Structure 1
């Protein structure tokens, strides 16, 4: 998981996802609804990759009884999350680190949005297993991140579409080109088939795709 520790990057983080992730606010709303299908009004939810606080705020504003455990490796991003949440931060226990820093719960549900694409396959597999370990039986887990075909030609096509969306949303062309170069060269992205297989290997059942947006995919799965 890459730490977002550059002060300038952290300061402008909140403006980024909506311009780079198609349907960003819809993704948050769908995630909340998928959790709410299975968990109670007083649920305790694990949010992995909670830095920035955007999904925490979306969940907390609508679900007044939920409590949260927010985990992120960047202390700067956790600070931003606290500022983003304001008074709602009182309902969140923050932990600096990876999944290993999270309490064992067990939690009623969990999310990991726009985070797992930073992890190499083996670490991603281990992280998913550790999330599974911290959930109650039948608990929902919602995950979304970059996941697209890894064939050279297909990869280039989908990254170009990602860049086109970012430019259409106001990102300077040079920045979008740097972003797809970084994704292509440095992010250990997997295909959707590989991502689904890892969820099943970690012990999750009923894995279902609910979100597809250019290079991004999102799934809901349940602890078996």
Structure 2
């Protein structure tokens, strides 16, 4: 998303494993994702519709801990398991969470490394866009297997029209929003080039179909902001 100035193929896990990049991570989403904090608040509301007050929540792609902190602060009875393949990001999450770590377990790895559950709810924010369609569906199925029947799942990530001309137009808007939000114009241009060269983004209808084929029902869109989309469904 905002990982590198290099438009050549990237190893996203390696990029996020850089401690300096992890320490700077909190600035990126706020500038590149419209409504970033609101997305976290909405996610908590949607999960709470079906999750109990003492829910155990799986957070896949826990990153630097911003989502974990938002959920833990809004729902003091919840315990959370955050999973991420980048150790540097998990160490940043520990710093972000501070005393909230008493209710959070962090796991370095991918969905197959997550506890078997069953969990009462799950999220995967700003993560699935790093995976191609096949790996994306496998990951969604892995989340589904770890949830109680009827448990809510919220996913949100880069998802925008990929047709001729459409991808370039939406990526230009991605760049323009970042600049309007205070990002350095050169950084925003490089981020756009990196996304264009490396991110296997899909059309929103393809992403929704993957959630359904991965086992989720009653899938509904709830978030749309330039190149970003979000859905809620239940196991």
TM-score by length of 1: 0.98
Residue of structure 2 equivalent to 1:151: 163
The CA RMSD measured in Å over matched residues stands at 0.9
SS state of the match for residue 152, structure 1? coil
The structure 1 residue matched to 2:98, chosen from 86, 95, 105, is 86
Q: CA deviation at 1:183?
A: 1.0
User: Distance between the aligned counterparts of 2:76 and 2:22, measured in 1?
Assistant: 27
Task: For residue 68 of structure 1, report the CA deviation from its aligned partner.
Answer: 0.5
TM-score (norm 2): 0.93
- 2-structure distance, mates of 1:221, 1:163: 30
> Which residue matches 1:103?
115
Task: Pick the aligned partner of 1:2 from 12, 23, 30.
Answer: 12
Distance 1:152 1:72 in 2: 34
Q: Show the counterpart of 1:18.
A: 30
Structure 2: distance between partners of 1:187 and 1:137? 32
Q: Deviations over 1:6-54 (max 9, x none)?
A: 1221111111111110000000000000000111110000000002000
1:115 aligns with 127
Structure 1, unpaired ranges of 5+: none
When the two structures are aligned, how many residues end up with a matched partner?
223
- 8 Å CA contact 2:19–2:89 kept in 1: the answer is no
Structure 1 Cα separation of the partners of residues 188 and 26 of structure 2: 17
